[in-house]
Structure 1
């Protein structure tokens, strides 16, 4: 029997988007992702050593008979986000803004952390975060 996870196991984060082409362009242009491959209306990206799979919505299938995939219905109700731990939050903020990222607010200094939030074209939430000052761990 094989161990899980093993050294050759990868983790892929799947995002349901309304337009794969538009999202692919945003992830490449704003976040610097690279396209690994495209198939059946989906796009596989590499980003910071991780896999990101962009797919359009769809109904149940034989392997997931009660599950439907849909992009976020309300971007202000979040059940997941991707966080980028960065050495310089304000610098990353300026770089990403220049590339077209739309932030909710400028970076906020919470004393132990500086962070800022932004969204992709479908409303998926992202955070850039810099640990600073005193630690809470």
Structure 2
């Protein structure tokens, strides 16, 4: 059986991203290693406490020879628009989680709103990545 182990988000600053995901969202650090033999490449993963089977890689945008300057600029432009990818988070009480995260300093782009599938809100991380916080209701909650 094939399973998802990790998903990747591009980040401008791994330390800033790590602080956001751990201190503001309450995620735990899974891996944080620097490999000198690979030019000090740093592999950082985080994930929600109690959900050990999936990690989010906080990947710094590499330079040459992996990514040329134009491609790096394109990635940064997409990130600034919130279009480089989205992480969908679920919660049992979207409004309560919204208030808790706001109290920790998370700046939301969308307050919780009723949708056909539940209650949904949106925010971005310090690099501009889009995150959705959703409370699924009705038939979809049973999936």
TM range (shorter): 0.7 to 0.9
How is 1:85-104 mapped onto 2 (pairs within 5 angstroms)?
A: 85-104=90-109
Is it true that 1:117 corresponds to 2:122 in the alignment? yes
Change in 2 beyond 3 A, CA 1:77/1:101? closer
Q: Which has the higher helix share?
A: 2
Question: Taking structure 1 as reference, are residues 69 and 38 closer, same or farther at Cα in structure 2, changes over 3 Å only?
Answer: farther
Q: TM-score, normalised by structure 1?
A: 0.76
The answer to whether residue 62 in structure 2 is matched with residue 58 in structure 1 is yes
| Counterpart check, 1:25 vs 2:19 | yes
Q: Structure 1 92/77 Cα, relative in aligned 2: closer, same or farther at 3 Å?
A: closer
- Structure 1 gap segments, 5+ residues each: none
Deviation at 1:133, TM superposition (A): 5.0
* CA distance in structure 2 between the partners assigned to 1:89 and 1:130 by the alignment: 5
Match in the other structure for 2:33: 38
- Total equivalences in the alignment: 128
TM-score (norm 2): 0.73
Structure 2 gaps of 5+ residues are 35-40
Give every structure 1 segment of 4 or more consecutive aligned residues whose post-TM-superposition deviation is greater than 6 Å. Answer: none
1:12 aligns with 2:6: yes
What's the C-alpha RMSD, in Å, of the aligned pairs? 2.9
CA contact (8 A) 1:111 1:133 kept: no
Q: C-alpha displacement at 1:59, in angstroms?
A: 3.6
Alpha-carbon offset, residue 97 of structure 1: 0.7
